[in-house]
């Protein structure tokens, strides 16, 4: 059997995993790997301009495609620069494998040049991580890393590769399977519990489905739609769950929580049966825990047993994959047609009540002489192709997108939910564009967030990635300013962006196109022009400076205590 260097064995392992794209940045500790990449034309390496951008790009690639995202960086500062991206993926359960260079094994612990204990640093924000100390373990470790990243509750896995291991040689053989006795995710939900779920829903008068990102991760949207429509149960989604249920469906309540719709928050407060599927009851959803769904029997379906009753005590837990559990629920109701008809009859007043909430308090804004950011998003929704992938940065731009862009399918919305990472959207859009070169990819940004990873303009130009960046430029760190306006007597401490770049000139300096829009009447034409341009475009929309996001639930308040427009 031919012997390979560790670097060449690493490349072969990626091939065995079906990897076609890797994002990252080179350095001394990984020079052997980068030399081997030169002889691997079947694996495209995307050179980002910062390691944080590399992880976000791998994350966006994973969210949009459903595959494992991969990035490769060097040791020391190269590795530590990945931490924000890793934590972002960890909070949102995104399958990414991060390969970091490391100093030679005999120097580990000696404070060698560009040494960092990246395994120790990332232990709290990875699903698992490895330091490869023996080349004989390399193939097994890589196989396990991809397996752990994509299975169960998915998440990031880091593999640290010392330089001497990459130089050593081995007779390469990739394992056929993974054997991890201590890691056995439960996929198939308990049949007895599934039957109890269906019975509880059939006996309810005001049921609501609360769907999260787990529905998308498990590719369970079709099952969710079928179950909700068959039972006629309204559906609200988390930020991470947007697209899991079509927002145009009459049963859709939109997003719930701090900036959720009036109908969603009122329905969850008044429901007698809350069916949580692939969601984790985070604080932005629940508001004041003691008053969250106070009248409801709570059902919780999740593949992660540690998430169940972690934040909210549930009455009926089911550990399992969302898709498989929903399939089990659909199987149960096939034999209960009479009971389903009875359910439809006695929940009709509930659906009528929800329709009234929708009509009385829709999402709204008033258009004045300045451009309203909500209007920009509505126009993007109207003009962009149906399969457009939307990423966002974090803050007001993110919440307006969640409210006013109507996501009809899963994996079309990429955003940092759990960690709330400013600077996520642009590199994530790069990852999505690499995964889908023929699709339209748009990053909806704020003028604060876009500057966090704006250096990736060089990446989109170098690889001719036609990402469109729509900047809602209000001259502030908008969401922080909104809190200061509401709760700190408009004392705008360090939230005014007094100096910002000319985004048109900046885009052009990198070799991209730039457009500026200052009047509402020019919004539509600018979006159409940007979509027609074949390369990357920055569109700078100068919007109303002090526009706020409503509804809004103040921190610590119950979710039915909303500030409205």
**Among 132, 28, 126, which residue's Cα sits nearest to residue 82?**
126
pLDDT at 347 over 80: yes
Over residues 299-308, the mean pLDDT reads 96
- C-beta atoms surrounding 234 within 10 Å: 26
- C-beta atoms surrounding 440 within 10 Å: 18
**Among 552, 562, 207, which residue's Cα sits nearest to residue 353?**
207
> How is residue 278 written in tokens?
């692939």
Domain formed by 191-360, architecture: 3-Layer(aba) Sandwich (3.40)
Residue count of the chain:
565
pLDDT (0 to 100) of residue 387: 98
pLDDT at 2 over 90: no
- C-beta atoms surrounding 112 within 10 Å: 16
CA distances from 173 to 2, 34, 97, 168, 202 (A): 10, 21, 20, 15, 54
State the alpha helices, DSSP H only, in 248-293.
262-270, 283-286
Over residues 290-319, the mean pLDDT reads 96
pLDDT at 1 over 90: no
DSSP letter, residue 564 = -
DSSP letter, residue 369 = S
Question: Residues 523, 377: contact at Cβ < 8 Å?
Answer: no
User: What is the signed CA dihedral for 511, 513, 517, 523, rounded to 10 degrees?
Assistant: -160
DSSP letter, residue 514 = E
Q: How far is CA 392 from its chain centroid?
A: 10
Exposed / middle / buried, residue 498 (Cβ in 10 Å: 0-12, 13-18, 19+):
exposed
Q: Own/partner pairs for 525-534, CB < 8 Å, 24+ apart?
A: 527/376, 527/379, 527/380, 527/383, 527/384, 527/470, 528/383, 530/468, 530/470, 531/383, 531/384, 531/440, 531/468, 533/466, 534/466
The residue with tokens 């996520």 is 424
Question: Residues 515, 526: contact at Cβ < 8 Å?
Answer: yes
CA distances from 489 to 202, 480, 483, 546, 557 (A): 49, 13, 9, 14, 19
- C-beta atoms surrounding 44 within 10 Å: 14
DSSP E strands: which ranges in 226-373?
235-237, 252-255, 273-277, 297-302, 316-319
Over residues 201-219, the mean pLDDT reads 98
Q: Own/partner pairs for 287-293, CB < 8 Å, 24+ apart?
A: 287/257, 287/258, 287/553, 287/556, 287/557, 287/558, 287/559, 287/561, 288/556, 288/557, 288/558, 288/559, 291/558, 291/559, 291/560, 292/268, 292/558, 292/559, 293/268, 293/269
pLDDT (0 to 100) of residue 459: 98
Quick check: helix, strand or coil at residue 336? coil
Q: In which band, very low, low, confident or very high, does the pLDDT at 481 lie, cut at 50, 70 and 90?
A: very high
Cα distance between residue 108 and residue 110, in whole Å: 6
Q: In which band, very low, low, confident or very high, does the pLDDT at 149 lie, cut at 50, 70 and 90?
A: very high
* Residues labelled catalytic: 51, 113-114, 163, 479
**Among 113, 128, 87, 81, which residue's Cα sits nearest to residue 100?**
81
Question: Residues 157, 58: contact at Cβ < 8 Å?
Answer: no
3-171 has which CATH code? Answer: 3.40.50.970
Digit-coded pLDDT (tens) for 84-143: 999 999 999 999 999 999 999 999 999 999 999 999 999 999 999 999 999 999 999 999
Fold match between domain 3-171 and domain 373-542: yes
Q: In which band, very low, low, confident or very high, does the pLDDT at 189 lie, cut at 50, 70 and 90?
A: very high
- Triad 318, 322, 326: Cα angle to 5°: 85
Cα distance between residue 187 and residue 134, in whole Å: 33
pLDDT (0 to 100) of residue 448: 97
Digit-coded pLDDT (tens) for 406-464: 999 999 999 999 999 999 999 999 999 999 999 999 999 999 999 999 999 999 999 99
Over residues 19-28, the mean pLDDT reads 98
Sign of the Cα torsion 336, 341, 344, 347 reads negative
Whether omega before 519 lies within 30 degrees of 0, making that bond cis, reads no
pLDDT (0 to 100) of residue 253: 98
Q: 481 phi and psi, to 5 degrees? A: -60, -40
Q: Which helix (H) or strand (E) holds 6?
A: helix 6-16
pLDDT at 342 over 90: yes
pLDDT (0 to 100) of residue 507: 98
pLDDT (0 to 100) of residue 539: 98
Question: Residues 378, 526: contact at Cβ < 8 Å?
Answer: no
CA distances from 138 to 84, 86, 205, 226, 541 (A): 26, 22, 56, 44, 49
pLDDT (0 to 100) of residue 565: 83
pLDDT (0 to 100) of residue 61: 98
Over residues 19-40, the mean pLDDT reads 98
Cα distance between residue 523 and residue 381, in whole Å: 13
373-542 has which CATH code? Answer: 3.40.50.970
Over residues 43-71, the mean pLDDT reads 98
The residue with tokens 């691997």 is 40
Q: In which band, very low, low, confident or very high, does the pLDDT at 368 lie, cut at 50, 70 and 90?
A: confident
What whole-number percentage of the chain has pLDDT above 90? Answer: 98
**Among 196, 191, 199, which residue's Cα sits nearest to residue 339?**
199
Cα distance between residue 514 and residue 494, in whole Å: 28
Give the domain ranges of the chain.
Answer: 3-171, 191-360, 373-542
Cα distance between residue 386 and residue 397, in whole Å: 20
Quick check: helix, strand or coil at residue 240? coil
pLDDT (0 to 100) of residue 335: 87
């Amino acid at each position: 059997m031919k012997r390979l260097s560790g670097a060449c064995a690493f490349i072969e392992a990626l091939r065995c995993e079906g990897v076609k794209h890797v994002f990252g940045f080179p350095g001394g500790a990984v020079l052997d790997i980068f030399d081997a990449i030169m002889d691997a034309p079947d694996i495209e390496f995307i050179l980002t301009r910062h390691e944080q951008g590399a992880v976000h790009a791998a994350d966006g690639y994973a969210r949009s495609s459903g595959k494992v995202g991969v990035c490769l960086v060097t040791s020391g500062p190269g590795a530590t620069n990945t931490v924000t991206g890793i934590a972002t993926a960890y909070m949102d359960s995104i399958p990414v494998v991060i390969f970091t260079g490391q100093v030679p094994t005999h120097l580990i612990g000696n404070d060698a040049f560009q040494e960092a204990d990246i395994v120790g640093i990332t232990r709290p924000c990875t699903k698992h991580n490895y330091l490869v100390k023996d080349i004989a373990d390399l193939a097994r470790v890589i196989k396990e890393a991809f397996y752990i990243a994509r299975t169960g509750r998915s998440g990031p896995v880091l593999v640290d590769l010392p330089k001497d291991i990459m130089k050593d040689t081995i007779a390469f053989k990739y394992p056929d399977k993974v054997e991890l006795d201590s890691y056995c995710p439960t996929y198939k939900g308990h049949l007895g519990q599934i039957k109890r779920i269906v019975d509880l829903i059939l006996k309810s008068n005001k049921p609501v489905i609360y769907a999260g990102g787990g529905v998308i991760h498990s590719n369970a949207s079709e099952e969710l739609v079928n179950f909700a429509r068959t039972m006629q149960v309204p559906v609200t989604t988390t930020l991470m769950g947007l697209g899991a249920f079509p927002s145009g469906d009459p049963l859709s309540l939109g997003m719930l929580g701090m900036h959720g719709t009036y109908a969603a928050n009122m329905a969850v407060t008044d429901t007698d049966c809350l069916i949580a599927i692939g969601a984790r009851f985070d604080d932005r959803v629940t508001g004041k825990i003691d008053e969250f769904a106070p009248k409801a029997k709570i059902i919780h379906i999740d593949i992660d047993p540690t998430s169940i009753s972690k934040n909210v005590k549930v009455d009926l837990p089911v550990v399992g994959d969302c898709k498989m559990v929903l399939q089990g629920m659909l199987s149960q109701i096939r034999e209960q047609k009479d009971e389903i008809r009875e359910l439809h009859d006695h929940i009709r007043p509930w659906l009528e009540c929800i329709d009234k909430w929708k009509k009385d308090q829709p999402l709204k804004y008033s258009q004045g002489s300045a451009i309203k950011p909500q209007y920009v998003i509505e126009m993007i929704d109207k003009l962009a192709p149906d399969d457009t992938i939307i990423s966002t940065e974090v803050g007001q731009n993110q919440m307006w997108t969640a409210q006013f862009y109507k996501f009809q399918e899963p994996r079309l919305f990429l955003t940092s939910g759990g960690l709330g990472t400013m600077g996520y959207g642009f590199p994530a859009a790069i990852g999505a564009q690499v995964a889908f070169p023929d699709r339209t990819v748009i990053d909806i940004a704020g003028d604060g967030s876009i500057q966090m990873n704006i250096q990736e303009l060089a990446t989109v130009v170098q690889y001719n990635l036609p990402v469109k960046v729509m900047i809602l430029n209000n001259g502030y760190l908008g969401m922080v300013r909104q809190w200061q306006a509401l709760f700190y007597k408009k004392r705008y401490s360090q939230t005014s962006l007094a100096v910002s770049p000319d985004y048109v000139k900046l885009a052009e300096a990198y070799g991209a196109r730039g457009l500026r829009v200052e009047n509402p009447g020019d919004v539509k034409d600018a979006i159409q022009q940007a979509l027609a341009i074949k390369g990357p475009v920055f569109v700078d929309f100068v919007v109303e400076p002090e526009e706020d996001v409503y509804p809004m639930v103040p921190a610590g308040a119950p979710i039915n205590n909303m500030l409205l427009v």
